[in-house]
A and B are shown apart, each in its own frame.
Chain A
Amino acid sequence: MIPTILFYAFAAILLIAAFGVITARNPVHAALFLVLAFVQSAALWLLMEAEFLAIVLVLVYVGAVMVLLLFVVMMLDINVETMREGFTRYVWIGGLVALLVAVEIGHVVWFRSEGMQFLSTPEPFPADYSNTRELGSVLYTEHVYAFEIAAVILLLAIVAAITLTMRRRPGLKAQNVAKQVAVRREDRVRLVKVEPTKD
């Protein structure tokens, strides 16, 4: 009972937030709605006992990705109005897709109401069941090859990003930190004996 109520509450907020992402006039508001949507989906995952995925979603998307996105959005002066110019032109496509999805969902609901079970609700796991441990043991055995390739892709992404952004501009003045740290007092301070002057 309570999980169901919670589910509908989280799902409702998730929908509102997702709707806010596309309707907000201010890009910062849109980004914040997206953060809310992520948190809500994490909550939904928690309800499904996928605590690792839920927390990692918050940790990675809310804690890191969206912060960087907010950075960019806040620094850029995005004019939303110009981005919306094509909106009315493509609205019928969007409407069509929405209709299609609605029909699909209705279809599924109808099937259920006919008493047809697609998937039986899985038994809840005991309290000492660790989602993280299970994921880890699959990730490092069965999927180790894919996992390693994903790691190589990330390395490649770093290399590519650095290749495309790092340029040594002429005349760039950078500090040599090692040199700065190695400075001794004698290098910088010279004690001068100043003769007192008579007026």
Chain B
Amino acid sequence: MDWLTGMLADTELRLTAVWAALPEFVRFVLVDLFKILVVVVPLFIAVAYFTYWERRIIGWIQNRLGPNRVGWEGVLQPFADLIKMLFKQVIVPGNANRFLFLLAPIVALIPALAVWAAVPMSESFVIADINAGLLYVLALTSMGVYGVILAGWASNSKYAFLGAMRCAAQIVAYEIAMGFALVGVLMAGGSLNLGDIVRAQEGTSVLSWFLWPLFPLFLVYFISGVAETNRSPFDVAEGESEIVAGFHVEYGGIGFGLFFVAEYANMILITALTATFFLGGWLSPFAGVPGLAETWIAAPSFGWLAAKMAFFSFCFLWFRATFPRYRYDQIMRLGWKVFIPITIVWIAVEGVMAAFEIGPWAAGI
């Protein structure tokens, strides 16, 4: 065994030497690449299993089985799907704008992944700890709409175009409500940095989460998130019964797969952001409960964030299995005439509360 430990120690030394010899810039890039991998690889796995659980859970809710053939209880189903999509031929429809048609799925996916850079996973881990994190998140999510519009237009198909128009109008409408809801969070948190927003929710107990003082904003934000990701019951952009599958009707194979990944990555992002903004991110709900104070249950960790994300992900599926689809004009009405006024009113209420130091602002922000 000596030779083994010796060799290991030797290798370690050599590696450290190599590392130290690298220019600082290269080291910086390598560390960041590693961080990105640490986030993106689990994200892709989460996306894969989100699709699996979607079918299983909705199956159970609707009293059927769902996929259970590939692997034990169907756990390999996502990989089967992936392999199928990868090996399908990429078909570009005639008269389609070839360049934009192929560009669109990439444009959809890039913002969906790039946003994760600013999302803090735990007290210490975040890829880019930037000051204007909240704005960055808003800006990048607003860019996601381009993938949809481009796909719809470049396909040169009526259904795709209709779907793209619906989708874009919906995203633009709900983005405003979302933005206003985040203004409320910003006022409560006193910072644009997502990590600081979570830290601002740290307190004696679960009652110091923003969920309570910002409850209307929380509802608006999460529902807008559902609408923004074009999920049921706001999925008129896909509207199988009316416009077949909406903006990606002409896509097959990996092009379709990329849209799929982008959509699910966006959903997971919404869950992560909801947890971060309103439910104290990585903070434990049991903090401050007598008797648990020193145990792992009360300690903040990534596990709590994951649990909260899992809950909201479940809500996404729950909604889909429960609610019938909204009519398009109802969606627009809800966004413009209900949510935006609610958020504006609540921002005003919050301003008054903050100015007069009422409630959670008693100590002053």
A contacting B, Cβ–Cβ less than 8 Å: yes
Evaluate contact between B142 and A62: CB separation under 8 angstroms: yes
Evaluate contact between B142 and A71: CB separation under 8 angstroms: no
A74 and B135 contact, Cβ closer than 8 Å, known pairs A63-B143, A132-B192: no
A13 CB, min distance to chain B CBs, angstroms? 15
User: Does B153 lie at the interface of the complex (its beta carbon under 8 Å from any beta carbon of A)?
Assistant: yes
Option from A28, A59, A70, A177 in Cβ contact (under 8 Å) with B142: A59
Instruction: For chain A, residues 48 to 87, give those with C-beta under 8 angstroms from any C-beta of chain B.
Output: 51-52, 55-56, 58-59, 62-64, 67-68, 70-71, 74-75
Instruction: For chain B, residues 122 to 180, give those with C-beta under 8 angstroms from any C-beta of chain A.
Output: 130-132, 135-136, 138-140, 142-143, 145-146, 149-150, 153, 161, 165, 168-169, 172, 175
User: Does A175 lie at the interface of the complex (its beta carbon under 8 Å from any beta carbon of B)?
Assistant: yes
A44 CB, min distance to chain B CBs, angstroms? 15
Contacts of B153 in A (CB 8 A): 28, 70, 74
Against B, the Cβ 8 Å flags (1 = close, 0 = not) of A24-43 are 00001000100100000000
Q: Which A residue's beta carbon lies closest to that of B154?
A: A28
Instruction: For chain A, residues 112 to 139, give those with C-beta under 8 angstroms from any C-beta of chain B.
Output: 128-132
User: Does A159 lie at the interface of the complex (its beta carbon under 8 Å from any beta carbon of B)?
Assistant: no
Q: Which B residue's beta carbon lies closest to that of A66?
A: B146
Evaluate contact between A35 and B146: CB separation under 8 angstroms: yes
Evaluate contact between A52 and B168: CB separation under 8 angstroms: no
Contacts of B25 in A (CB 8 A): 2
For chain B, the bracket of interface size reads: 20 to 34
**A72 vs B238: C-alpha distance in the bound complex, in angstroms?**
21
Option from B136, B143, B150, B330 in Cβ contact (under 8 Å) with A177: B330
Evaluate contact between A70 and B149: CB separation under 8 angstroms: yes
A51 CB, min distance to chain B CBs, angstroms? 5
**A132 vs B132: C-alpha distance in the bound complex, in angstroms?**
7
A140 CB, min distance to chain B CBs, angstroms? 12
Option from A35, A55, A64, A75 in Cβ contact (under 8 Å) with B172: A64
Question: Which of B139, B161, B330: most chain A CB closer than 10 A?
Answer: B139
B339 CB, min distance to chain A CBs, angstroms? 15
A177 and B333 contact, Cβ closer than 8 Å, known pairs A52-B135, A59-B138: yes
Q: Which B residue's beta carbon lies closest to that of A29?
A: B100
Evaluate contact between A64 and B142: CB separation under 8 angstroms: yes
Evaluate contact between A63 and B333: CB separation under 8 angstroms: no
Evaluate contact between A63 and B139: CB separation under 8 angstroms: yes
Evaluate contact between A51 and B131: CB separation under 8 angstroms: yes
Q: Which B residue's beta carbon lies closest to that of A56?
A: B135
Contacts of A128 in B (CB 8 A): 131
Evaluate contact between A67 and B132: CB separation under 8 angstroms: no
Against A, the Cβ 8 Å flags (1 = close, 0 = not) of B321-339 are 0000000011001000000
Contacts of A74 in B (CB 8 A): 149, 153, 161
**A136 vs B106: C-alpha distance in the bound complex, in angstroms?**
35
A51 and B130 contact, Cβ closer than 8 Å, known pairs A63-B175, A68-B172, A175-B329: yes
Q: Which B residue's beta carbon lies closest to that of A180?
A: B330
Contacts of A32 in B (CB 8 A): 100, 150
B343 CB, min distance to chain A CBs, angstroms? 17
Evaluate contact between A71 and B131: CB separation under 8 angstroms: no
Q: Which B residue's beta carbon lies closest to that of A62?
A: B143
A71 and B168 contact, Cβ closer than 8 Å, known pairs A63-B139, A130-B192: yes
Instruction: For chain A, residues 148 to 164, give those with C-beta under 8 angstroms from any C-beta of chain B.
Output: none
Q: Which A residue's beta carbon lies closest to that of B337?
A: A177
Evaluate contact between B132 and A52: CB separation under 8 angstroms: yes
Contacts of B143 in A (CB 8 A): 58, 62-63
Contacts of A55 in B (CB 8 A): 132, 135-136, 138-139
**A129 vs B329: C-alpha distance in the bound complex, in angstroms?**
45
Contacts of A130 in B (CB 8 A): 131-132, 192
Option from B130, B139, B161 in Cβ contact (under 8 Å) with A59: B139
Evaluate contact between B132 and A51: CB separation under 8 angstroms: yes
Q: Which B residue's beta carbon lies closest to that of A52?
A: B132
Contacts of A131 in B (CB 8 A): 131-132
Option from B100, B135, B333 in Cβ contact (under 8 Å) with A132: B135
Evaluate contact between B135 and A67: CB separation under 8 angstroms: no
Question: Which of A2, A32, A55, A71: most chain B CB closer than 10 A?
Answer: A55
**A129 vs B165: C-alpha distance in the bound complex, in angstroms?**
41
**A52 vs B138: C-alpha distance in the bound complex, in angstroms?**
12
**A64 vs B169: C-alpha distance in the bound complex, in angstroms?**
10
**A52 vs B134: C-alpha distance in the bound complex, in angstroms?**
11
Beyond A59-B135, A71-B169, A131-B131, 10 additional pairs, beta carbon < 8 A:
A28-B100, A32-B100, A32-B150, A52-B135, A55-B139, A58-B142, A63-B142, A63-B175, A64-B172, A68-B172
Q: List 14 A-B contacts (CB under 8 A).
A: A51-B130, A51-B132, A55-B136, A55-B139, A56-B139, A58-B143, A59-B135, A59-B139, A63-B138, A63-B142, A63-B145, A70-B149, A74-B149, A75-B165
- Residues of chain B touching chain A, judged by Cβ–Cβ distance below 8 Å, are 25, 100, 130-132, 135-136, 138-140, 142-143, 145-146, 149-150, 153, 161, 165, 168-169, 172, 175, 192, 329-330, 333
Query: Nearest 10 CB-CB pairs, A to B?
Result: A63-B142, A58-B139, A59-B139, A55-B135, A55-B139, A51-B132, A130-B131, A74-B153, A55-B132, A59-B138
